[in-house]
Amino acid sequence: MLRVEMLSTGDEVLHGKIIDTNAAWLADYLFEQGMPMSRRETVGDSLFSLIETLQERSHIADVLIVNGGLGPTSDDLSALAAANACGVGLVEHAAWLARIEAYFAKRGRPMVASNRKQAQIPANAEMLDNPVGTACGFSLQLNHCLMFFTPGVPSEFKVMIEQQIVPRLRQRFALPEPPLCLRLTTFGTSESDLAEELDDMVLPPDVVLGYRSSSPIIELKLTGPLSRRAEMMLAWEQVREVAGDNCIFEGTTGLPAVLTQRLHQQGVTLALSEQFSGGLLNLQLQRAGAPLVEGELLPAHCVETLGSTLVRARSLAELAGAPLVLAVSAMSDDQVSVVLHTPRGGMGQTVRYRASHHSLQLRQASVAMLALDMLRRWLDGGQVCGKNGGLEIIEIVE
């Protein structure tokens, strides 16, 4: 099997000052392409450590993807480290320098001298295009290993992986067929409850059932060879049955996008009134392009009952002329009310968060997800209030 590794660079990544989202994205993307990552490593802004690591991995990995360190500042050392590891010098790529100059000229900004550094690559390297930034990437062969060097900016990194690196890997290596990966996401049931019903399920050969808990949601994933598709679909029906109406969506689209599609299909608009959720509903639905017609964010100290939240939702519906309104009250004594007003009247529930030690951020995310789930259930024609292991239901009006 092809051994693909990743090397992330930078003190800020090594010391946890920023989260390495590029590594997580790359691991998932390569897995979907049939090239599961064998190893990930992080090295700080040390020229010696970078050279040492490149030379060490060049005898072990078939492919090494190096991320970061291609910027214009003195702590961007990847190109210099690569050149030193190969025993060659850096050369200025004239065509790329012209690209950088044109990039700044188009924006009416002068190019500072330090940006020339981004056009310098090892003499034995092939330049890789970066259509969305000023740092070109490059590839080179060091001993056993084909190495790719990429910028750390996520948008630039992802484009380079998709457009420059994976196509080159497919040309050079005989890669396996990408696996089939079936996914669904649940809300309102615990990982242990799901595992109790699913862990004894008999799976086809080479097929694996996995769980990914990211409170307040849990993803179930069935992965196996494409040749096992028919058997996997039979097993997937069992997974769907266990998830039941706690399955909020399948695939990787996300619940806000699913709701947006359904609202557009049904030709209805939505208004929002938020207190405890702090604008999370508006943020998530607006990003997905939902048909929102009104939104309000009220002070958190305005304490409301379930009844008064229902009244507020009805008033907003009349004011905005929106057939649907989602309203979240303030939290008081660990209780919060969530209301959905529809053309047939209002419905809602008051819940208490069971885990008092959880952060405010997680509590807000859970309540926002509860509100979105209520909207999903109504659009599906089912009961608006479902079971929820993490939230104790105090009162329901349906």
- Check pLDDT > 90 for residue 103: no
Q: Which of 24, 146, 136, 39 is nearest to 90 (CA)?
A: 136
Select the more confidently predicted residue: 387 or 190.
190
- The DSSP bridge partners found for residue 342 are 345
The pTM of the full predicted model, rounded to 2 decimals, is 0.80
For 243, phi then psi, to 5°, come to -65, -35
To which CATH superfamily is domain 4-172 assigned? MoaB/Mog-like domain (3.40.980.10)
Sign of CA dihedral 282, 285, 286, 290: negative
The band of 177, judged by pLDDT with boundaries at 50, 70 and 90, is: confident
Distance CA 294, CA 321 (A): 9
For 289, phi then psi, to 5°, come to 85, 30
Question: What's the one-letter identity of residue 45?
Answer: D
If you average pLDDT over residues 85-98, what whole number do you get?
93
- Check pLDDT > 90 for residue 32: no
The band of 156, judged by pLDDT with boundaries at 50, 70 and 90, is: very high
Quick one: pLDDT at residue 77? 96
Out of 55-64, 142-151, 339-348, pick the least confident: 339-348
Quick one: pLDDT at residue 337? 92
- Check pLDDT > 80 for residue 234: yes
pLDDT tens string 201-226: 999 999 999 999 988 999 999 999 99
The band of 278, judged by pLDDT with boundaries at 50, 70 and 90, is: very high
In the chain, pLDDT over 70 holds for what percent of residues? Answer: 98
Return the domain boundaries, the chain. Answer: 4-172, 180-250, 255-397
Asked if the 255-397 domain carries CATH number 3.30.420.40, the reply is no
- Check pLDDT > 80 for residue 358: no
pLDDT tens string 317-330: 898 899 999 999 99
Token output for 274: 């938020």
CATH of domain 180-250: 3.30.70.2860
> Cβ neighbours of residue 172 under 8 Å, at least 6 residues apart?
146
Distance CA 65, CA 69 (A): 12
Question: What's the one-letter identity of residue 269?
Answer: T
Select the more confidently predicted residue: 101 or 157.
157
- Check pLDDT > 70 for residue 310: yes
- Check pLDDT > 70 for residue 131: yes
The band of 307, judged by pLDDT with boundaries at 50, 70 and 90, is: confident
